[in-house]
């Protein structure tokens, strides 16, 4: 019994040892499986024998803050420090990047240019004068009575030459003309020249060292640019009133009567009222580009001015020679459109100056011009109306030769003519 029990105990002891060894082998197998399947829920992967370095990542919030600060610093440097200290000194200004080839429009304002109208008025005001006239009017019932008129003028030469409208001096019929200067002095003036067709007149006062206006170029003005008018709109009580606007139209033709019109006018929305007549129309540089006329009142909010380039040849000759010599063609005519309205179009042209009378022993008669001819051009300058022909003749002086194109019995012809001095009216 004892030996059997001993044997049995020994067997039990061996079985327990074998069981423990089996459990150890199972544990070892599980560990090997855990090594082959890392990251399971029950076993942790053992660290590998080789060493490695894992880079530390920067937080996203830090990156964003640094980027914002860098952007703000770059903007400040580019917007202020670059233009103020670098561009134009150490490095060229950046290009606009325009590859279209179109003209770039740049507006530059400095100092007083920010206030264009006050600067223009300051420059031109000493050259603007007031004009008062006295005219004797004949009345069938009351006899002769005196009438007064008020207008404006502009000094074009320091020796006392003044440009104004012809109707301001009653087309040369005023008995007395006085000029009120910028310093308050009133001086008697003489009418040297006037033309109702152009609505222009030149006056002269015996004064020196006057402030003359700067004459611009009316051929260069464009619709939309600044226009400033200075004048006496309601008499000397409101002398030297400044109004402003823009150039709203060019080459305007306004009829005054059935057979009379003023052409080639500048249209502006600067307010022009009776009394403004004869005053200057100025551009943004303070240059005279026209002579305002209130003779034409056909629309509310519209004003008109005679282009200064029409008056320049006349003014220049007065300044150079002290007088102006007008040339004559020796015809009387009307617009072709007026002829067509009355007699129909049997002329062979729809535009031009229709000649209804030839003055004897005149340049026209000597050149062979005939009654019924239509003048359509002079020295390649197109003539559409009688007014245009009159204006173009102011470019010539006595003795000048010109080639005129005419239509005679529906056939085009050319004639060479020598212009002569016009008789004083």
Active site residues: 167, 199, 277
Distances (CA, A) of 55 to 58, 67, 72: 10, 22, 30
Dump the DSSP string for 335-371. Answer: EHHHHHHHH-S-SS-SSSEEEEEE-TTSHHHHHT--T
Kindly provide the b/e burial profile for residues 250-270, where b requires at least 16 CB atoms within 10 angstroms of the residue's own CB. Answer: eebebeeeeeebbbbbbbbbb
Q: How many helices (H) and strands (E) does the chain have?
A: 7, 20
Structure tokens at 142: 């009351």
Tokens 């002290």 — which residue? 322
Residue 183 falls in which region: left (phi positive, over 0), alpha (psi -120 to 50) or beta: alpha
**Rounded distance between C-alpha atoms, residue 195 and residue 198, angstroms:** 6
3-state secondary structure of 176: strand
Q: Which residues contact 185 (CB under 8 A, 6 or more apart)?
A: 207
SS3 content of the chain, % helix, strand, coil (to 5): 30, 30, 40
Distances (CA, A) of 99 to 103, 105, 107, 377: 11, 15, 20, 44
How many whole angstroms from its chain centre is CA 41?
84
């Amino acid at each position: 019994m004892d030996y059997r029990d001993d044997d049995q105990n020994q067997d039990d002891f061996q079985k327990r040892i074998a069981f423990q060894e089996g459990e150890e082998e199972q544990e070892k197998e599980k560990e090997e499986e855990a090594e082959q399947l890392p990251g399971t829920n029950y076993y942790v992967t053992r660290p590998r024998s080789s060493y490695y370095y894992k880079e530390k990542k920067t937080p996203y919030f830090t990156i964003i803050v640094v980027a914002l600060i860098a952007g703000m610093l770059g903007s400040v440097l580019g917007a202020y420090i670059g233009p103020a200290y670098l561009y134009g000194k150490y490095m060229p200004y950046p290009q606009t990047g325009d590859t279209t080839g179109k003209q770039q429009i740049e507006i530059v304002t400095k100092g007083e240019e920010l206030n264009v109208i006050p600067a223009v008025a300051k420059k031109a005001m000493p050259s603007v004068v007031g004009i008062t006239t006295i005219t004797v009017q004949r009345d069938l019932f009351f006899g002769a009575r005196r009438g007064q008129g008020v207008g404006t003028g502009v000094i074009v030469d320091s020796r006392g030459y003044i440009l104004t409208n012809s109707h301001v001096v009653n087309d040369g019929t005023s008995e007395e003309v006085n000029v009120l200067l910028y310093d308050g002095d009133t001086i008697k003036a003489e009418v040297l020249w006037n033309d109702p067709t152009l609505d222009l007149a030149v006056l002269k006062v015996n004064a020196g060292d006057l402030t003359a206006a700067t004459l611009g170029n009316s051929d260069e003005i464009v619709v939309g640019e600044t226009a400033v008018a200075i004048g006496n709109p309601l008499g000397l009580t409101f002398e030297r009133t400044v109004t402003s606007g823009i150039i709203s139209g060019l080459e305007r033709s306004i009829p005054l009567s059935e057979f009379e019109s003023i052409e080639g006018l500048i249209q502006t929305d600067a307010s022009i009222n009776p009394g403004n007549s004869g005053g200057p129309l100025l551009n943004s540089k303070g240059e005279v580009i026209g002579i305002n006329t209130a003779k034409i009142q056909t629309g509310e909010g519209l004003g008109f001015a005679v282009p200064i380039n029409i008056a320049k040849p006349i003014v220049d000759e007065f300044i150079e020679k002290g007088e102006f010599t007008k040339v004559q063609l020796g015809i009387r005519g009307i617009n072709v459109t007026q002829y067509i309205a009355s007699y129909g179009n049997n002329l062979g042209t729809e535009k031009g100056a229709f000649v209804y009378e030839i003055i004897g022993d005149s340049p026209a008669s000597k050149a062979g011009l005939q009654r019924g001819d239509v003048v359509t051009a002079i020295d390649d300058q197109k003539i559409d109306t009688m007014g245009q022909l009159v204006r173009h003749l102011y470019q010539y002086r006595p003795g000048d030769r010109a080639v005129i194109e005419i239509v005679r019995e529906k056939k085009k012809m050319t004639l060479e003519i020598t212009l002569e001095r016009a008789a004083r009216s």
